[in-house]
Structure 1
């Protein structure tokens, strides 16, 4: 016992470090215990996720405060300690600091949340988790066409929220505008073609159009933005080869590919029922004149 006291008396700094490690371990363990308790007690997924993340952030803040108070010995020196601490590690830990600040910014400003579809730093995907350092996304696109999952899970530093634009497909207004072109052959019944396209688009997209109108009004009231037409619209352009129909419509951001397939399939079937009154065009090459070619065959008689 006397040896232990003697050792403590000779190594006060080491003893303080051990006490600090025990304090940090206690706080981290307490955070995990509270997170597990919330996981078992809170049934709602969104509420459970937010409460767990809130406890995690609060725990880290408390840990930082305790650390400064422990090493300075006086909470009054907290401001000075922050200055010295920031000056010493700002360069080496700037990415980590930006990531933690980014996580706070994401939660406070509500830049995005789990379940949102975003594009950040050139990566598209659905957000599946946001922690104190990383945003985790299920990637879409890349080598697969349209907005399908690639199967890769991407972890992206939260610091990127300060470094470039963030495209959110679902915040405030979970719809996007999409369009495609239909080539109609010259000589077709244009009015019949227009009625077919508009009728199918209106019927197929009626649910999206109805739901989007009320939500678009909220967007207009919230932001400085002009009102927009959410009903399907058709624009016609005359080209060298065909009459181009451009159909523009609003669709759920997660059902873009399926909706485009459904519209194309139904329009194609209806056009076939017109028995030639409306015909889809394709690239053609018309030969106006074949140049004359003269061939002289001379026989060499020997």
Structure 2
């Protein structure tokens, strides 16, 4: 009893310190509860997507509750206003600026929907697939660097959420999960140009029909949502006369995750069809024309 009386007496004599201790106890309790619930959900929920969203929901509401308690303690319970200002000022220091900006970035990403797990984005000159978003970092599976096209490099990148405020965020999959791609085909001038056009257009139409049909409805939604003109999603072929060959430029729409594979299929199919023409259509390569051969005088002694 004497111990309890001493504690109560100390609390009455030091209200500011006792409130700070209460706040620390509540903060630790909330953080431990978040960690416990995340671990519990990780073990009990078999579905990956539901488990991930549940864990993020627990984390989000836990931090919101912590913020509410913090505001309550530092505005209503602590009588010494100067101390409250000092604590807030100490928290907003140069060393915590990046952390605070990262936490703010996580709320911005969540509420605005800049990107979500599963999206392919490019931010701060780093391109990859988003595999996790927490209160401070965005985790990405990197694409590119020393490997060509859109292949994974094998590196997992953790990027501060603060970067959403520092530069553009390129999202390859939000609203419209397709991208335009193109490649050039050099055809010799002696070839049957009309036959070559037929081969390229037919190969593109057959290979890309699925992407075209799906992208039409998706693109209509983009046009209705944003101030943007309608665009042609069907494959298009443009022909350019160069010094060495007739250049066929094939432009088409494709799933953002299948750009490399689709280009491979198109090149292989077009190459096989050109071989079946028995020389009527020939691929070109760089040629050099010798206009004049200089005279060489050789004197025999």
Q: TM-score with structure 1 length normalisation?
A: 0.89
Match of 1:225 among 225, 228, 246: 228
Alignment CA distance shift 1:75-1:183 (3 Å): farther
Which segment is superposed worse, 155-164 or 35-44? 35-44
Secondary structure at the residue paired with 1:119? strand
Mapping of 1:1-302 within 5 angstroms?
9=10, 19-39=22-42, 44-71=47-74, 73-74=76-77, 81=84, 85=88, 89-298=92-301
CA contact (8 A) 1:69 1:75 kept: no
CA distance in 1 between partners of 2:17 and 2:85 (Å) = 23
Q: Deviations over 1:194-217 (max 9, x none)?
A: 000000100011000101101111
Distance 2:154 2:133 in 1: 19
Distance in 1 between residues matched to 2:182 and 2:56, nearest whole Å:
39
Gap runs ≥5 in structure 1: none
Instruction: Give, in whole Å, the separation in 2 of the partners of 1:16 and 1:75.
Output: 7
1:246 match: secondary structure: strand
**Change beyond 3 A, Cα 1:77–1:119:** farther
TM-score, L = length of structure 2? 0.89
1:182 Cα shift? 0.1
Q: Distance in 2 between matches of 1:208 and 1:253?
A: 10
Taking a change above 3 Å as real, the CA distance of residues 163 and 255 of structure 1, as seen in their structure-2 partners, is same
Instruction: Flag the 1:116–1:77 CA change in 2: closer, same or farther, 3 A.
Output: farther
Relative distance call for 1:167 and 1:85 in structure 2 (3 A) is same
Unpaired runs of 5+ in structure 2?
A: none
Three-state SS of the structure 2 residue aligned to 1:146 is: coil
Measure, in 2, the Cα distance between the counterparts of 1:5 and 1:263. 84
Shift of 1:287: 1.5
Rate the CA distance shift 1:83–1:233 in 2: closer, same or farther, 3 A: farther
Aligned with 1:199: secondary structure? helix
Aligned counterparts of 2:104 and 2:73: Cα–Cα separation in 1: 23
Equivalent residues, number: 297
Partners of 1:75 and 1:48 in 2: CA distance: 39
> Alpha-carbon deviation of 1:53?
1.5
RMSD (CA atoms):
2.8
State whether residues 114 and 130 of structure 1, in contact with CA within 8 Å, keep that contact through their aligned partners in structure 2. Answer: yes
Q: Given the superposition, is the C-alpha separation of residues 180 and 99 from structure 1 closer, same or farther in structure 2, using an over 3 Å criterion? A: same
